[in-house]
Chain A
Amino acid sequence: MSYIELKNVSFEYPGGFLAVDDISMSIEKGENVAIVGQNGAGKTTTVKLLNALHYPTKGDVLIGDMNTRKFTTAQVSRRVGYVFQNPDDQIFHSTIIDEVAFGPKMMRLPDDRQKQLVNKALSMTGMKRYRHENPYNLPLSVRKFVTIASIIAMDCDVMVFDEPTAGQDYVGNKRLAKIIRTLSEQGKTLITISHDMVFVADHFPRIIVMSNKKIIADGTPQDVFWNLPILEEAMLKQPYVSRICHELGVGDRIIRMDEAVDAIAFACGIKEDMA
């Protein structure tokens, strides 16, 4: 059995709105997974089921040996950290360092361990130099890194990032990519929701596509971004470089920029990387 299991899970909001309809998925410990799909496809509801912000109305959610039904949100969230889509739904302290220190404090870890975790989280997210600032002095896209730091400081096994790429600039996207890579190397299980197909194609070995409350595809970037009927159903597009290689008939299911450069250079008769 995998570390995370969703077994025929449905979720209906009070009032009867069905947001997730009979989905199943398995994620191994240490996997780095992206979830893509339109707004309203059920992505956020699905990840909220993972840390018991929601409990399934049908089916079961298993995290390791825990069935979320039998535990409180506080218990499950020690294992599964969730970074909200909107940082302002999460932040409630007046300095960044207090905000990031809150999780470790609530977990009643020894003082020096708390300090160590907070420091590491602030450094990794680039928030160290702002630590004594009010989070609201920073623009929204930077504030997002405060909420990411808060979850990293809790050192959960599983971390869920809900649309961290929204509104990010070049530097923000690079920083995010680095955080994801570092956490992944540390063996964390990561699940990231994003609308940025270039970012997803570049940084995730596995992509889950949701559409209309269901999972409609689950595989490598090649599997997903070269399955054109699936993309159409999910109203998504290929990454730009895939599109152009597709149109030009160059290479084999190109996903990333460096692959596209190789394939096009080859088609132009340049056999080897001169650089």
Chain B
Amino acid sequence: MGAVIKVENITYRYPLTEKPAIKNLSFEIEEGGFYGIIGPNGSGKTTLCALLRGFAPSFYKGDLEGQVLVDEKPTTAYLEGELSLRIGYVFQNPFNQISGVKDTVFEEIAYGLENFGVPVDEIEDRVVRAMKLTDIESLAMKKPFEISGGQQQRMALASTLVLEPGILIIDEPTSQLDPEGTESVFKVIETLKQTKKTVILVEHKIDLIAEYAEKIIVLKNGEAIRIGDKQDILSDIALEAEGIQLPQYAALGSRLRERGVDLEYIPITEKQALDVIGKAISKEAKTNVVH
């Protein structure tokens, strides 16, 4: 599958600032891939999302060198409405997204389609489908501001999915949620994987990134210090020295190896940890039998 977004040697400064928020960045986003963007706060994650979506420089202004191509066309050459159909964007805080003018969750999700002049019958179908996908059908008649944070975040996801964008950018969707709400949002994101959408996710909860993402982009001070497969990147103990948390299972694996435990590989998910540590323990049990 080809690249849907190409980032070509971009450097970006916000208006009135000297220090670039993003520096010399190049990479490609493949169609259908699931990308996790990680890095310390202030490393440029949200800015990068804004650049991929074209909010920067069109809305935030500022100074962009290099270019971001979406389907081979620079973001700066698109009309605003066009990119919003191609790339869905879910904000960090659902409050920034909820329109505030609709009385029910159903109407809130339908709002975007109304604005695009979609026929009523089709709107109903699509809203129902989006609510099913995000598991909020039972909330259809509730008020948007009277549902829980996790439910609001899923509603925000539904409002974006209903427009059927091929690419989704999701910026720290769970930073304000409890563990249950976080889990519910990630379950939805996982089902998106099966719908062949391209997903770009910013998230601090590294254990969940390890579980769900495929490729990782690590940002620090506006530069990409690592780009690649999650297994390689998230199992590398050197990341800790860069101020980036390893998944708990990778940290455990690295520390076990230091202790002399013979692990086949460094696990990054629970399943891998059970597999590889389980094997190490049973190997020892067998040796004991031989003795």
Contacts and interface: CB of A to CB of B under 8 A. Distances in A.
B82 interface: no
A235 B180 contact: yes
Interface centre among B175, B178, B181 (most CB of A within 10 A): B178
B255 interface: yes
Contacts of B281: 248, 250, 264, 267-268
B104 interface: no
A257 B270 contact: no
Interface in B94-150: 148-150
Contacts of A269: 284, 287-288
Contacts of B260: 265, 270, 274
Contacts, number: 114
A167 interface: yes
B179 A257 contact: no
Chain A residues touching B, range: 35 or more
Interface in B162-181: 172, 175-181
B95 to A, nearest CB: 11
B66 interface: no
Chain B residues touching A, range: 35 or more
Contact of A169 (B180, B204, B240, B251): B204
Contact of B177 (A168, A195, A248, A268): A195
Nearest to A195: B178
Interface in A79-97: none
A169 to B, nearest CB: 5
A37 B273 CA distance: 27
A198 B245 CA distance: 12
Interface centre among A39, A142, A168, A172 (most CB of B within 10 A): A39
Given A39-B178, A39-B181, A240-B248, A265 B274 contact: no
B265 to A, nearest CB: 15
A273 interface: yes
B213 interface: no
Counting from the closest, the 7 A-B pairs by CB-CB distance are: A240-B248, A167-B175, A170-B245, A269-B284, A235-B180, A39-B178, A265-B259
20 contacts: A38-B180, A38-B181, A39-B148, A169-B204, A171-B243, A195-B178, A197-B179, A198-B248, A235-B179, A243-B270, A250-B281, A257-B251, A260-B252, A264-B261, A264-B277, A264-B281, A268-B261, A268-B280, A269-B284, A275-B258
Interface of B: 39-42, 148-150, 172, 175-182, 204, 207, 240, 243-245, 248-249, 251-252, 255-256, 258-262, 270, 273-274, 277-278, 280-281, 283-284, 287-288
Given A168-B41, A169-B243, 14 more contacts: A39-B149, A141-B41, A167-B176, A169-B39, A169-B41, A170-B240, A170-B245, A244-B252, A244-B270, A248-B278, A264-B252, A268-B262, A269-B284, A270-B259
